[in-house]
Amino acid sequence: MSSLPTILVFGGSGLTGASIVNALLERKDFQVKVPVRPSSVDKPSTVELRKKGAIIIPFDIINSSSEDLQNILKGADTVICAIVFTQLGLQYKLVDAVKSAGVKRFVPCDFGTPGRRGVRKLHDEKLDVRDYVKASEIGYTFIDVGFWYQLHLMYTNKEKAYVPWLYEASRYVYNGGTVKTAYTDLGDIGRFTARIVADPRTLNQYVFAWGEEITQQDILTYARKYGDPNVEIIPKSTADLEALIAEAKEKKQGILAYWDYHYSMWILGENTSEMAKLPELGGALDARELYPDIKVRPLEDYAIEFYQ
């Protein structure tokens, strides 16, 4: 039986979760357990985590009872949740089980951008979970990471767009594109998280981790330097974006979350380390100040890979 502290990562075979699990395993300071749906036990991503040393536990959190959750959490020191954003509500019963099982620290599924209430529906749902965590009086750490490098560069090739509408939307530049926003490479999300959960200073704190703070003009520079030197932007105003948000709300379109992010980042300028530290946005600790030795991946480095 391992004498190392045990960390359970729900959603550990997903993109964010796998980044976290890999970083935890690399530290060799923890026993890492990953609950996955029984149907996903033999998926390549799960098999890869097992090869690296993660303990894979077949478990269906959706249909689990309170007793099931408490049993799987027995002996865990930390629980990290990195489940898909459409299942954030599952965290309420997870928090109850964490409290009953005596887990020392719970990290809910945030890993996004900071901001005020009332701007983004998805962020409001995350803030509701945070309030529930605090009310439960369990140990916690809230972690935001800005926006991913992997999700927000401009597309210069229509065929490479993750979804067709992103080819155009990625080139919307608001009010001249001079507002700064924070980005983090997917791999660095795991490295920051592994450091944060091993640090007693971050217990019952909100932490903001980030790689670079850049503008849309910086993004355009990389698109022209490494993608297409003739790529054209699509200028947009605040009013244009507000109209897109209103239309998405009226038609109940899933794209609403994307426009909400744009409004928070590029219009309100909420996604920066300076803003995250404000009391009204959570009073975050700055992970770059906590761990100055972490060498983050430059966005330009990822841009070269992206456009190749």
Mean pLDDT within 134-158: 95
Mean pLDDT within 158-182: 94
Mean pLDDT within 110-116: 97
Quote the pLDDT of residue 228. Answer: 96
Asked whether the beta carbons of 115 and 146 are under 8 A apart, the reply is no
Number of domains the chain is built from: 1
Average pLDDT, rounded, for the chain: 95
CA–CA gap between residue 148 and residue 160 (Å, rounded): 18
CATH number at residue 70: 3.40.50.720
Quote the pTM value. Answer: 0.95
Q: What sections of 60-110 are H helices per DSSP? A: 66-73, 91-101
Across 65-177, the runs of DSSP E, i.e. the strands, are 78-81, 105-107, 141-144, 147-148, 172-174
| Full residue range of the structural domain in which residue 74 is found | 6-146+185-210+272-294
Quote the pLDDT of residue 2. Answer: 65
CA–CA gap between residue 84 and residue 15 (Å, rounded): 10
pLDDT > 90? residue 1: no
- Residue 235 resides in a domain: no
For residue 125, the one-letter residue type is: E
- Residue 305 resides in a domain: no
Mean pLDDT within 1-5: 76
pLDDT > 80? residue 99: yes
How confident is the model over 6-55, as pLDDT tens digits? 999 999 999 999 999 999 999 999 999 999 999 999 999 999 999 999 99
Query: How many CA atoms lie less than 13 Å away from 159 in the CB half-sphere?
Result: 1
Quote the pLDDT of residue 162. Answer: 83
Mean pLDDT within 151-177: 93
Quote the pLDDT of residue 105. Answer: 98
Quote the pLDDT of residue 47. Answer: 94
How confident is the model over 207-266, as pLDDT tens digits? 999 999 999 999 999 999 999 999 999 999 999 999 999 999 999 888 999 999 999 999
- Residue 63 resides in a domain: yes
Q: How far is CA 173 from the centre of its chain?
A: 23
- Residue 227 resides in a domain: no
pLDDT > 90? residue 85: no
Mean pLDDT within 144-160: 93
Name residue, tokens 């244009």.
240
Name residue, tokens 């480095």.
301
- Residue 221 resides in a domain: no
Mean pLDDT within 263-280: 98
Mean pLDDT within 280-293: 97
Residues 6+ apart with CB under 8 A from 218: 299
- For the chain, the C-alpha Rg in angstroms (whole number) is 20
- Residue 24 resides in a domain: yes
In this structure, of 38-42, 172-176, 199-203, 234-238, the range with the lowest mean pLDDT score is: 38-42
pLDDT > 90? residue 197: yes
Cα separation values, 199 from 46, 114, 121, 207, 290, Å: 27, 21, 31, 11, 10
Residue 208's φ and ψ, nearest 5 degrees, are -110, 120
- Residue 114 resides in a domain: yes
Q: Residues of 57-93 as b/e, b for ≥16 C-beta within 10 angstroms? A: eebebeebeeeebbebbeebbbbbbbbeeeebebbee
Per-residue DSSP letter, 186: H
- Residue 133 resides in a domain: yes
